[in-house]
Amino acid sequence: MGLFEGKKGLILGIANPFSIAWAITQKLHEQGAEMAFNHLPDRDKPKNEKKLRKLVEPLGAELIVPCDVCDDSQIETLIDRTAEKFGKIDFLLHSIAFAHPDDLTGPTYACSRRGFLQAMEISAYSLLAVAGAAKKKDLLADECSILTLSYFGGEEVIPGYNLMGICKAALECSVRYLAAELGPDGTRVNAISAGPLKTVSAQGVGEFQLMLDLYEGVSPMRKNISMDEVGNTGMFMLSGLSTGISAEVVHLDKGFSKMGAPPHDFINKLRSEG
């Protein structure tokens, strides 16, 4: 019997098969989870819906709903339809972030006011909005787990991550406040701070290949994480195996974030190549 047999959840933000959310979703499916999904509404042709359906219908998707998290009425509709289908949910995965390339690739001091507000609304406020709507609707079951996705650039300066680092800092703080406020009702709220992975969104980060090389050379295990590892960790954080964990940002980076300085072999390699 799988860890998620009889468990129901809502997955937000899958856009393609290369995303962290998709890796976690596959692990949830393997463990018997029943899931509902959202996609960004289509204006003309059902492009976003078709891409999502191609991925999740083979997993037996219970519900697929268009939802733009910048629109409160669409969030309310998503929550209402999920409640109609499942009654309550045992887990919620939030994997939504966006910054316009013009605001992301330049220095943070040069980002536009409009771009800053948009990036914050989508990347950080959306977690508060969805959690609040779910709470209002009484959608969250006892011992419900909410999980979002962050990155180390929200804690320390990572060149190239720029505006998104500021958004992730806000997201991680939101995790702590939500955990404190929803905890009395039994809901846990956490984040995974995964190391760099070759996702579509990562391609918008400047010098991404250098980031991969740095993690491989500096992390205690001298390697990068895999999608399989982040999928397993996400599944664990949403499962009943992690009921003692809340208000945490779990670093899944082979120990990179705990290194105060590069190891000697990495420095020697740079010297030899220089």
Q: Which domains does the chain have, with CATH numbers?
A: 8-273 (3.40.50.720)
| 3/200: higher pLDDT | 3
Least confident of 73-87, 124-138, 257-271: 257-271
Spatial CA neighbour of 97 closest among 207, 12, 28, 190 = 12
**247 DSSP 8-state letter:** S
Q: How far is CA 73 from the centre of its chain?
A: 22
- Residues identified as active-site: 151, 161
**pLDDT: is 271 or 223 the higher one?**
223
Does the structure show a pLDDT above 90 at 113? Answer: yes
Average pLDDT over residues 171-193: 98
User: Among all chains, which residue has been given the structure tokens 């018997």?
Assistant: 32
Q: Which residues of 191-225 are buried (b: 16+ CB within 10 A; e: fewer)?
A: bbbbbbbebebbebbeebeebbebbbbbbeeeebb
Chain-wide mean pLDDT for the chain?
Answer: 94
Residue 71 amino acid letter: D
Tell me the pLDDT band of 207, cut-offs 50, 70 and 90: low
pLDDT-derived band at 187 (thresholds 50, 70, 90) equals very high
Which whole number is the average pLDDT over 154-159?
92
pLDDT band at 205 (very low <50, low <70, confident <90, very high): low
Q: 115, 190, 92, 198: which is closest to 149 by C-alpha?
A: 190
CB-count burial class (<10 Å; 0-12, 13-18, 19+) for 18: middle
Tokens of 105: 């690739």
Question: Strand, helix or coil at 12?
Answer: strand
* pLDDT at position 112 over 80: yes
H helical segments located in 15-162? 20-30, 47-56, 72-86, 101-104, 113-120, 126-136
The predicted structure's pLDDT at residue 213? 87
Look-up of token digits 């590069």: 262
Pick from 29-38, 44-53, 74-83, 178-187: least confident: 44-53
User: What tens digit of pLDDT does each residue of 224-274 get?
Assistant: 999 999 999 999 999 999 999 999 999 999 999 999 998 999 888 888 886
Q: Across residues 98-111, what is the average pLDDT? A: 94
The more confidently predicted of residues 210 and 115 is 115
Q: Which residues contact 252 (CB under 8 A, 6 or more apart)?
A: 192, 193, 194, 195, 225, 229, 230, 233
Q: Which residues partner with 149 through β-bridges?
A: 192
Q: What is the pLDDT of residue 206?
A: 54
Rg (CA), the chain: 19
